[in-house]
Amino acid sequence: MNLPPLVQSFVLHFGEMGSRWGINRTVGQIYALLYVSPQPLCADEIVEALGISRSNVSMSLRELQAWNLVLLKHLPDDRRDFFTTPDDVWQILRTLAEERKKREIDPTLSVLREILMQKPGNDDERFAQERMAEMHGLIERLTTWYDDVKQLDTDRLAMLLGLGSRITKLLEAKDRIVSIGRRKPAAREREE
Amino acid sequence: MNLPPLVQSFVLHFGEMGSRWGINRTVGQIYALLYVSPQPLCADEIVEALGISRSNVSMSLRELQAWNLVLLKHLPDDRRDFFTTPDDVWQILRTLAEERKKREIDPTLSVLREILMQKPGNDDERFAQERMAEMHGLIERLTTWYDDVKQLDTDRLAMLLGLGSRITKLLEAKDRIVSIGRRKPAAREREE
DNA sequence: CATTAATTTCAGAAATTTCTGAAAATTCTA
DNA sequence: TAGAATTTTCAGAAATTTCTGAAATTAATG
């Protein structure tokens, strides 16, 4: 590996974290490298920079494309493929959230739904099904919320995050806010 | 493996998803089994139910304890350890979020901070550092928000989620809400 | 304190994942 | 369409992770 020390630390860290993030070392390293590169890189430049085989680069880039984490670019009069990452970090965040949901949440949601359709054969199965219903309910709430939030444009999303601890005051005032939506005064849902 | 079909599907699914969630098959299966079991189970009951070795159960339970995902129980006049999961799914969610942050986010944040302290040697390094600063900034915003939200009690958290798409209207009305905190009318921050 | 019950440790076996080199396929150019 | 450039595929090698059985450790009991 032949990289400026500062970049090398970053790339190596992404490689090490790879397994915790559900990708492998090479995929992590390539992503990190592309992320901090001022220009798009072609496969051979990645081979050169990371000191790994050409075929590994090919497969790893394919994996990154499956995650929608890299962009394919073409330079005039050059038929090689060049790769970058999107440069808006908010966009990267959205993609990451979406892809992880697809891989880590959705399959479980669908298994749960399927099991919940079945009829329990005894008390233990009934109990198990109730537990699964609780899990299913929670995941549904979370994903519904996520589906709403991801519609927000970046400014609004930043605003939501920026709200920070003031979120509490906002929730205290929820009734009033909700009533704007309904155009009618709302009944208090919970008192302090 | 000798389990009611409905439980078996659930356990096998958690086993398969294990690798995507950063745990291994056995750990996933044991967690699933404990989650749907009406009573706490001891190690040998897990061995029996899942058909795996005693030592594997021991190591996997240790791993689950490191994640704070299981509780140790003792029955009177029985010196064996019995295990369950917390029964409040919201509590499970909090634990999961906390542990994943600790394993998947915090190390990166600290590496980024360290790299950002260094002095770039040339233009490429300067560019790389700027990119890392963007990433660092975003992660900081997200974790600050998370730190605030996790303080909320479950009712408030549920309320926040329940807000769903109305979050937009709420954000439109943000000025007014924030002004409650400041006890003064606020200037409009952005117009539509 | 010897015995028994329960749990943990750990070296190596088994399984899985990652990576490579060589060959095949694709795509452009003359 | 032959040839050159580039990318992809894939069988097996290498590395890593997971799992097991046997031995060691811990802790309670008589």
Tokens of B27: 């750990």
Location of structure tokens 């001022």? A38
Which residue stretches of chain B have pLDDT < 50? 184-192
Three-class DSSP category at B42: strand
Enter the tokens of residue A15.
């490689």
pLDDT at B2: 84
Q: Does A93 touch chain B (CB under 8 A)?
A: yes
Residue of A nearest to B158 (CA): A141
For residue B72, give the nucleotide whose C1' atom is nearest its CA.
C7
pLDDT at position B179: 54
B2 touches chain A (CB under 8 A): no
Phi then psi dihedrals of residue A41, to 5 deg = -115, 150
Task: Tell me if B164 and A158 make a contact (CB, 8 A cut-off).
Answer: no
Does A25 have pLDDT greater than 90? Answer: yes
Strand D nucleotides within a 7 Å radius of protein CB atoms: 5-10, 16-22, 27-29
- Quick one: average pLDDT of A130-151? 96
Domain A5-84 in CATH 3.10.20.30: no
Model confidence at A151: pLDDT above 60: yes
The CA distance from A38 to A41, in Å, is 9
- Number of CB atoms found within 10 A of residue A171's CB: 20
pLDDT of residue B165: 62
- Residue B25 token pair: 């098959």
Hey, are the CB atoms on A178 and B159 less than 8 Å from each other?
no
Contact call for residues B131 and A11 (beta carbons, < 8 A): no
Distance measured from the CA of protein residue B25 to the C1' of nucleotide C17, in angstroms: 14
Strand D CB-contacts below 7 Å: A 19, 42-44, 54-55, 58-59, 61-62, 78-81; B 19, 24-27, 52-56, 59-60, 79
Q: What confidence category does residue A160 fall into, taking pLDDT thresholds of 50, 70 and 90?
A: confident
CB proximity A16–strand C (7 Å threshold): no
Give the pLDDT band (50/70/90) at residue A180.
low
User: Residue A176's pLDDT is what?
Assistant: 58
pLDDT the model gives residue B186: 43
pLDDT beyond 50 at A189? no
Cβ contact B166–A178 (<8 Å): yes
In a 13 Å sphere around the CA of A62, the CA atoms on its Cβ side amount to: 6
According to the model, what pLDDT value does residue A163 have?
Answer: 79
CB atoms within 10 A of CB B159: 16
A1 beta carbon < 7 A from strand C? no
What is chain B's alpha carbon radius of gyration, rounded to the nearest angstrom? Answer: 23
- Per DSSP, helices labelled H in chain A are 5-17, 25-36, 43-50, 54-66, 89-100, 106-117, 123-149, 154-163, 167-172, 174-182
User: Residues A138-147: pLDDT tens digits?
Assistant: 999 999 999 9
Distance between CA atoms of A32 and A27, rounded to whole angstroms?
9
Cβ–Cβ contact A124 with B under 8 A:
yes
CB–CB of B168 and A156 under 8 A?
Answer: yes
The Cα–Cα gap between A164 and B105 comes to: 19
Smallest CA–CA distance from A117 into chain B, residue: B6
- pLDDT recorded at residue B100: 95
**What pLDDT does A177 receive?**
55
Give how far A79 is from chain B: nearest CA, Å.
25
CA distance B40 to chain A (A): 13
Continuous segment of H or E residues that includes residue B88: none
